[in-house]
């Protein structure tokens, strides 16, 4: 599926799909940060929130 993507892009796609990426929801689960909350909204910073909901990334979308 990812044969045409650079290795780094494949890695990011895989991390997004698995949820094992440097967002607060995952980092809190592995106890790397104290809170799973998004710094903008205070809701869990999940992949879904990061990609589709957070206004902090509105321009990039």
Provide the residue ranges of all domains of the chain, joining segments of one domain with +: 7-57
| Two tokens, residue 7 | 């290795």
pLDDT tens by residue, the chain, 61 residues: 678 889 999 999 999 999 999 999 999 999 999 999 999 999 999 999 999 999 988 888 7
Full-model pTM? 0.81
Q: What is the pLDDT of residue 1?
A: 64
Q: Is 35 in contact with 24 (CB distance < 8 Å)?
A: yes
- The span from the CA of 15 to the CA of 21, in Å, is 5
**How far is C-alpha 30 from the geometric centre of its chain's CA atoms?**
14
Q: What is the pLDDT of residue 2?
A: 73
Residues 6 or more apart whose CB falls under 8 angstroms from that of 46 comprise 19, 23, 25
Q: What is the pLDDT of residue 15?
A: 96
| Two tokens, residue 34 | 């104290």
Q: Which of 31, 29, 26, 20 is nearest to 45 (CA)?
A: 26
């Amino acid at each position: 599926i990812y044969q045409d993507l650079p290795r780094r892009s494949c890695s990011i796609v895989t991390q997004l799909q698995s949820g094992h990426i440097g967002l607060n929801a995952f980092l809190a689960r592995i106890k790397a940060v104290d809170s799973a909350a998004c710094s903008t909204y205070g809701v869990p910073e999940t992949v879904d929130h990061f990609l589709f909901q957070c206004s902090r990334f509105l321009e990039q979308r």
